[in-house]
Structure formats: structure tokens, C-alpha cells
Amino acid sequence: MKFNQATDYAFRILLYMSTLPFGTRKVGSELARTSKIPERFLLKIMRYLVNAKLLHSYRGVDGGFTLAKKPKDISLYDVVTAVEGDTYLQHCLYDSESCSRGCHGQCAVQEAVGKIQAVLIQELKNVDFETLAKRERSIQISLHHVV
């Protein structure tokens, strides 16, 4: 499984927003700059995150984006599904009729990969952005103290 580039950018945006005091509003250009994301992709990604109710969008002079939920209530899984939709390690996990062997979901490989996928999904759900933001702050402090 490989997350697409938009998902990586969404992770960056939410990580940055999670390091700020809750309710802090940021404009798109600043998010693009601080997260090192091309501006041309930013609005598309922000639309995914707003539609998934992970971010709020505000128009006008004081416009921008804020987190819609506390960082502790946003998981990596939430972001993956917001950007990529449901993802599967193997096609037959969501469409048992797709198997060219005609086993209709009765396959040792499908069973094994299905278990792996269940663990992966649970792990993604277990990682929240409050935890990631705390870790990110520690990493940044360590980097700035290295001379």
C-alpha cells in the first residue's frame, strides 16, 4: 500500500494545523508555504479535508482554514479516507467477484491479506494528530538544539 501525494500533503497540513492553538485560522498561501506544498494542489486537498469535516473554511477578508475537530479527534485513517476514499491492499477485498480464479472470497491469500488490512486500518485509527503534533514539537526542538 502506498499513499498518494495528496494524502501526504494532507498529513502535512493537518500536522502543521495541529501544532497551533486550536481555532487558529490560516490562509491557503501560508499553509502551502509552511507545509511545502505547491499552491496549485492546496485547494484541491483542502476541499477534501473540508468535505470530510476535518477543516472549516472561511471566506472573505478574514478567511482561511481552521481545524474542525480537536487534533486528538483526527486520525491518520480519517485523512486517508478523506483524500483517497476506502483503500484496499488487494482488489478482491472489496470486490470478491473480481477474482479471476472464481473463488468468490474463499481464498487463503485473501484471508491473510484481509487480516493484515484490518490491523493496518486499526493502527491508522490509533494514531491521532494530537500525538503527532507533540512528537513533531519534540523533533523540532531536538533539531534546533543540534549544533
Q: Would you call 39 helix, strand, or coil by DSSP?
A: helix
Q: What's the CATH code of the domain at 41?
A: 1.10.10.10
Looking at residue 141, its pLDDT comes to 79
Using the CB atoms, write b or e for 92-128: b if 16+ within 10 Å.
bbeeeeebeeeeeeebeebeebbeebeeebeebeeeb
Domain count, the chain: 1
Which tens digit of pLDDT belongs to each residue from 80-110? 999 998 776 665 555 566 666 666 667 787 7
Domain with 53 in it = 5-145
Model-level pTM?
0.84
CB 21 within 8 A of CB 70: no
> Stretch 58-62: mean pLDDT, rounded?
87
Looking at residue 106, its pLDDT comes to 74
Looking at residue 60, its pLDDT comes to 85
Which tens digit of pLDDT belongs to each residue from 126-145? 999 999 999 998 888 777 76
Strands (E), the chain: 55-58, 64-67
pLDDT-derived band at 119 (thresholds 50, 70, 90) equals very high
